[in-house]
Structure 1
């Protein structure tokens, strides 16, 4: 398992010229007014319709922040206007995709995108080189009945590890399962009861912690470490 390196950097340092772009941002820092202004400046009509379906303010902030990060990085790399890019969830391929915004035919952009969010924290992974990519973050809560959950949902070998090693292992297996589900495009429900360790062999597995969150990333790229760019602001 490789290393995750949290590093605070300016948004201008984020680039798709690297093999893997990994960013994290606390969308709770946005006021409702800021979120609304950014949505007006960044989102296409289709994305605005998706945003309007979110009821909770936290969910709206997460949506705007994640789309903003993706679109700003792509716009800079491809020399496009931010609103020329549309981010949408492909139901057939069960993943996020990016295209040039058009009302009819879609001109797809050759980038792998995977996101995760929890309690306002937004994690975005992007790559022009990776063909299989999965990422997840989860807040570690000591008060959660994590051992009972493991015994109910996880494979017996995973549960035995958790009984021996404790809460950290529970959350690490949790984020690995979620990231794997995204990387292989399978419902998480199919992986919960499986021992996923053998399924991780084809991937580079990168895990770590940021604040009280556990993070796991899976990629088919042969990289030794991933720099987690901590964003204080969006541009």
Structure 2
């Protein structure tokens, strides 16, 4: 039933600075508010790979720079804790042909799956050992928008009907964004452009592809995770962090 997808079933726990290593059959999520991150104070030379410095230089807006740095700092903390070596020896590279972010140690592709999302400076990163299909999406829900107008233009009629059933504007926003984060997470899981998944019914697609989803709301953000294996949902570890807790020695 579609109503099941609106339950906040993804548990967010407050982790510690030691919660960065991955273990078998575990899918971990890290959340960080990087909107106030001072990039000048971060020792990026000891964190980013030379390729990543080049990508960062292409980010012109401060928020985009903050989100990129915070997401890579989380990834590097996990890789250093899991595999050892220096943070700068690891590189994150987006493979356009595969439609996914890949993690490398020198010339070796690491057996790690990753999905990340960011919105208004808030960053979410999901990682697991092995080759797993999953997608994560994060969206801020308090943006003033014409939700019904947008839904009628992009969404499936059944999805529009669900939004119309919500009387209050806040409820319509929550419904609109939950559908949106599910669509984005699904697109990342299936490695398809989001444009191909806007009009179809997202609930039917999740079921027909035998996928599993969990979602939650946190700090005026909606977060959805979709995964091909239900076993990984038994090992979710979510942590809320700040940029100071991501420093790498």
- What TM-score results when the alignment is normalised by the length of structure 1? 0.92
Aligned alpha-carbon RMSD (Å): 1.6
Partner of 2:241: 231
Q: For 1:41-75, what per-residue CA distance to the aligned partner results, in whole angstroms no more than 9, with x for missing partners? A: 11111110000000011111111111111111011
Partner of 1:34: 41
Partner of 2:153: 152
- Structure with the larger strand share: 1
Deviation at 1:227, TM superposition (A): 3.6
Q: For 1:121-156, what per-residue CA distance to the aligned partner results, in whole angstroms no more than 9, with x for missing partners? A: 010000114610100000002521111100111010
Partner of 2:136: 135
Partner of 1:191: 197
Contact 1:206/1:225, CA 8 A, preserved across alignment: no
Count residues with an aligned counterpart: 229
Partner of 1:204: 212
> What secondary structure does 1:33 align onto?
coil
Contact 1:130/1:221, CA 8 A, preserved across alignment: no
Tell me, in whole angstroms, the C-alpha distance in 2 between the residues paired with 1:160 and 1:142. Answer: 21
Mark the CA change 1:171 to 1:225 in structure 2 (over 3 Å): closer, same or farther. Answer: farther
Extract unaligned runs of 5+ from structure 2.
167-171
Partner of 2:73: 68
> What secondary structure does 2:236 align onto?
strand
Tell me, in whole angstroms, the C-alpha distance in 1 between the residues paired with 2:78 and 2:234. Answer: 23
Extract unaligned runs of 5+ from structure 1.
none
> What secondary structure does 2:9 align onto?
strand
Contact 1:4/1:225, CA 8 A, preserved across alignment: no
Partner of 1:220: 228
> What secondary structure does 2:26 align onto?
coil
Contact 1:21/1:125, CA 8 A, preserved across alignment: yes
- What TM-score results when the alignment is normalised by the length of structure 2? 0.87
Deviation at 1:11, TM superposition (A): 2.6
Tell me, in whole angstroms, the C-alpha distance in 1 between the residues paired with 2:128 and 2:98. Answer: 17
Q: For 1:100-127, what per-residue CA distance to the aligned partner results, in whole angstroms no more than 9, with x for missing partners? A: 12xxxx3100111000000100100001
Mark the CA change 1:189 to 1:225 in structure 2 (over 3 Å): closer, same or farther. Answer: same
> What secondary structure does 1:229 align onto?
strand
